[in-house]
Structure 1
Amino acid sequence: MKKKLVFFAAVLAICLTACSFFNKTEQDNKLQSVSDNSVVTYSCQVSLSGGSGRASVNSPATVVETDGKRTVELIWSSSNYDYMLVEGQRFDNEASEGDNSKFTIPFAEYDKAFKVIGDTTAMSQPHEIEYELTVSSPKTSGLPLEGEGGPGDLRSEPTVAEAEKKLTDEVSSAEAEKKLSEALKKSGLSKTGSMTLEYATQYTVDYFEDGSKKQYALITIGSGDYTQHFLKSLKNAPEPKGLSSDITFLGSVDKTYLVSTSVMDLISSVDALDNISFTGTKASEWYVSSAKKSMKKGDIIYAGKYSAPDYELLLTDECNLAIENTMIYHTPAVKEKLESLGIPVMVELSSYESHPLGRLEWIKLYGLLYDKMEEADNVFTKQVKGATAFSNTGTPEKSVAVFSVTSKGIFVIRKPGDYIATMINMAGGKYVPEKIKGTDENALSTMKITSEDFFIYAGDADILIYNSTVEGEVESTMDLIKKNQILADFKAVKDGQVYCLSKEYFQASSNVAEFIEDMNKVLNGQTDSLTYIFKLKE
């Protein structure tokens, strides 16, 4: 089978190389065809600068050349631009009502910035804002899309590198699974079952035993290049002989260095805090009361943040597991150093779970690690029951936006697919914006947005909730308006329906049901007894 795959890859590479050669020739011919009375359309990269720095245009954009004259079709990130000025000439918005503003404007040269003015109506009064626009040459940034009167349509083909990567990824994944299975068999382990996970997608647990019925759990976290495999000993089972170096053996983990703050509450909830000996967060920064108490008593010691751990302390006090989040990948040398000292490093990916109950279900992993499975199952079952209690309550649907404002006045919102947005919907509300461009560009739960766009998406929202995580809590709507004056025009501000997430909420990982209950109360105007949300003074 392997020989067939190699042969197929070689044939595919040769075929695509040939296609690439002929397409290159066709492309070069087409680039030369623009001179005589032809109309050729390109897809070119476009960059925008100036203004507040928060507006953007779609890139690549459509460029049309006719008899040496060029126009570019600009689609803005907002629907509030009603006209543009280019060298004094006015161009009106071509988009349908509700769609993002669209203009077709002329430009003289590729790869050279030129000034334009856009008039936005997002604020109380229209504003003309000056920008600089650059359209990159199609020779470096784009391919012809179609030629009307030109030499025909050019369809882009996958490159040899892209085709080879796709094939390699598929083969690598299959080979990795086969290799893992063979490695476990060589160690005398046979699979006996798997952990049932209802919502979590970023980890799995499979159970194994050896010939003498000693039990183990294979923990797999992530996928692709960042896949992690751990074999956890159950009931003091010894490390199997000949275990693959791709699998990290975990024996006792009773002296854990916990760096990922979101995990502390989950471990505390299953009564396993006595297994945490070190933390990457100072006592003053903890909102998990049990963790703060343990640090004051000296049961948990501060051992440095993720990027600068106290190696000597960890080694001297026999640390036997480090639980990190993905920030550790910014300092790979630290991860390597910990592992070289014999400290296994587990990078948890709960933040990559889009469903709130998926994030919570990581509690089962910690129940497994610290022999608290019954407690973990009980917490999870109780939270699921509470979290789903409002799904069919018939609550009047109100729109809710969650945001923060940076010190520079830039809005940061939770993405529509984020777990906070999901909990709002589970509580009976409607998270806004429901859809927004760019939400799949990375794994982050937040994204920056222009004040104009935020006004479009949330200006009529029934409820605003300020996220205090980064910039801290605010006490009144006036405090909020000082951060960005545009907020004064929002419906929720005028109606006195502005709330703030308490600063301790994002460490309270186990309290999914409590947040949803809070949200349901807010939606129904019952704001006297909230746990993680409070109403701002007007």
Structure 2
Amino acid sequence: MPMSRSIRTAISRFSAALAILLALLAAGLSLAGCSRGSSELDGTYRIGVRLEGGTGRVSIASPAKLVTSNGQLTLEVVWSSDSYDLMVVDGQEYSPASTKGGSVFDIPVDSVDATVEVQARTTRMSTPHLIDYTIALDSSSLEQGAPDQDAPSADNDATDSADAGEDSSPYRDIDLGCDLAHTGAVELAYATRFTVDEFEGGYRLICLANKDRFLIVPQGASAPQGLDKDIAVITAPLERAYHAASNSVCLIDQLGVIDAIAATSVNPQTCSIESLVGAVESGSCAYVGSYSSPDYERLAQLGCTVALENTMIDHRPDTRKKLQDLGLIVLTDLSSNEPTALGRLEWIRLYGMLFGREAQADEFFSSACESVERASQGKGTDKTVAFFYINEDGAAVVRRSGDYVSQMISMAGGQTAFSDLGDSEDSSSVTMEMESFYAQVRDADFIIYNATVDNSVSTMSDFLAKNQLLANTKAAREGNVWRCTSNMYQQMTKTPQIVSDLRAMLEGADSSLTYLEKLS
């Protein structure tokens, strides 16, 4: 019996629906294949990876190669630097498979969406040390086939050359204008505001981010003929320096070369570095008044050859010119512009080159990095910290999230209460009206009053008298208001100890520490 038209129509519709259903099932299976468990994978894949931790100057290639076999997953980690000679994963040590074009390691991972805590050892400083990192895999990016090794990762472009010793700093200019052969570059781990290049004969070129250049001439040698006129010549080691940068006194003290400072504008009455105070009191170092108007005649009498200034000199071009007219070379310490706390500290290596204490500087810096890493080993907390002071106008002055104080808070496991205030080349601090400031600080777990700038606060009563809104903050109500000691800014070399103090505060210390004092 022939089928009726209605039956044929029903069958046709059923067939179409079945085809759609099968197509959907096939699509579902295809999608499921992208998120299937590692036990179902076999072969070579490429997967997006993200690196966290460290300084941000080094990166890993993304996408990375992921090899699976018998349910075991192995991730190939390709660093943008060839200075890594060891990785540690779950206590197991791994050696690099290659160090050409970046250190390459094969490490195990649990799954395609794993977050792996690792350590990588860098050899870029005098003493190798481990740095903590986190590698996060992005399972949504998983694709069959190895990554294209010829295609550089976008994450690496900005860091490859710097980490490999071919510094990409825009201010670096190694053209001396003469025939000295360039032999290499000094690798810096954290500092970004100076570079150092080496030339035959032991000459070194320092380039600063303010575009100043200095040729360090070894003892017994002379400046090469034909040297560009914009390059100032400094003969090392320095012996008759004029020092006007209070933030770097501790670096010179750490190197044991205070006796090479013939004159200073660092006020001995407010200086916390005993060796400098003693030198002024004994007469071996002359206090010549403020950096803005030093005793020029005295500087000339003392035979000072180099003026070590901080960035405040940029606001006094007349002072700079008078110093230069006297024959002094002006070198501006830009460490305060470094984006990281360890970047500031690495300026000790520059001073080591100037004063002939390079080995001591490298050894100290390497040890300090290890100490900071040990102090930062504890797991992060959800505790927020507000660091500020109240200025004469009654406004709050806070530090940006990228500032070195904020970074030390992060190293200690805390979070800055002003995380929305990002980096700025213009200033590391922000002035806020009290109402908007209070909205951000009221729920902070801890308050640290910046007594380095405003030393008028030594008790809780002093603190609360600054503004009535402060009494309503969570930190004030719970008794978690601290102040930093007045000399903290002059103690750059104590960065590891400051981080340890911050960690102790976050963990509930109930008494004064070395660089933090609890208000009562």
Measure, in 2, the Cα distance between the counterparts of 1:408 and 1:219. 41
- From 519, 522, 531, give the equivalent of 2:514: 531
Aligned AA (1:471): D
Contact 1:259–1:306 (8 Å) recurs in 2: yes
Cα distance change of structure 1 residues 534 and 228 upon mapping to structure 2, 3 Å threshold: same
2:192 maps to 201
Measure how far apart 1:336 and its partner are.
Answer: 1.4
SS of residue matched to 2:308: strand
Contact 2:213–2:231 (8 Å) recurs in 1: yes
1:41 maps to none
Contact 2:376–2:499 (8 Å) recurs in 1: no
1:227 aligns with 2:211: yes
SS of residue matched to 1:389: helix
Cα distance change of structure 1 residues 529 and 471 upon mapping to structure 2, 3 Å threshold: closer
Matches of residues 78-93 of structure 1 in structure 2 within 5 Å? none
* 1:147-167 deviation digits (Å, cap 9, x = unpaired): xxxxxxxxxxxxxxxxxxxxx
- From 182, 185, 195, give the equivalent of 1:191: 182
Contact 2:241–2:308 (8 Å) recurs in 1: yes
**TM-score when normalising by structure 1:** 0.63
Give RMSD over aligned pairs.
1.9
Measure, in 2, the Cα distance between the counterparts of 1:175 and 1:393. 37
Measure how far apart 1:255 and its partner are.
Answer: 0.7
1:422 maps to 407
Paired residues in the alignment total 352
Measure how far apart 1:394 and its partner are.
Answer: 2.1
Contact 1:352–1:443 (8 Å) recurs in 2: no
- From 453, 461, 464, give the equivalent of 2:436: 453
Measure, in 2, the Cα distance between the counterparts of 1:334 and 1:278. 16
Measure, in 1, the Cα distance between the counterparts of 2:435 and 2:256. 47
* 1:112-163 deviation digits (Å, cap 9, x = unpaired): xxxxxxxxxxxxxxxxxxxxxxxxxxxxxxxxxxxxxxxxxxxxxxxxxxxx
1:364 maps to 349
Measure, in 2, the Cα distance between the counterparts of 1:177 and 1:471. 38
Q: Which runs of 5+ in 2 are unaligned?
A: 1-167
Measure, in 1, the Cα distance between the counterparts of 2:291 and 2:512. 37
SS of residue matched to 1:305: coil
1:236 maps to 220
2:229 maps to 245
* 1:212-247 deviation digits (Å, cap 9, x = unpaired): xx321100001xxx3000001124321112221110
Measure how far apart 1:441 and its partner are.
Answer: 5.2
2:123 maps to none
Measure, in 2, the Cα distance between the counterparts of 1:528 and 1:495. 15
1:500 maps to 483
Q: Which runs of 5+ in 1 are unaligned?
A: 1-172
What is the percentage of aligned positions where both structures have the same residue? Answer: 35
Measure, in 2, the Cα distance between the counterparts of 1:229 and 1:407. 39
* 1:445-483 deviation digits (Å, cap 9, x = unpaired): 211012122222111111000001222142222211111
Measure, in 2, the Cα distance between the counterparts of 1:396 and 1:229. 43
Aligned AA (1:244): D
2:92 maps to none
Measure how far apart 1:310 and its partner are.
Answer: 1.2
SS of residue matched to 2:220: coil
Matches of residues 398-477 of structure 1 in structure 2 within 5 Å? 398-436=383-421, 439-440=422-423, 442-477=425-460
Contact 2:172–2:208 (8 Å) recurs in 1: no
- From 307, 317, 320, give the equivalent of 1:332: 317
Measure, in 2, the Cα distance between the counterparts of 1:398 and 1:429. 5
- From 314, 320, 329, give the equivalent of 2:305: 320
Contact 1:215–1:235 (8 Å) recurs in 2: no
Measure, in 2, the Cα distance between the counterparts of 1:449 and 1:462. 20
Matches of residues 9-408 of structure 1 in structure 2 within 5 Å? 181=175, 183-184=176-177, 186=178, 188-209=179-200, 214-222=201-209, 226-252=210-236, 253-408=238-393
Measure, in 1, the Cα distance between the counterparts of 2:458 and 2:170. 56
**TM-score when normalising by structure 2:** 0.65
Measure, in 1, the Cα distance between the counterparts of 2:198 and 2:170. 21
SS of residue matched to 1:284: coil
Contact 1:521–1:527 (8 Å) recurs in 2: no
Aligned AA (2:185): S
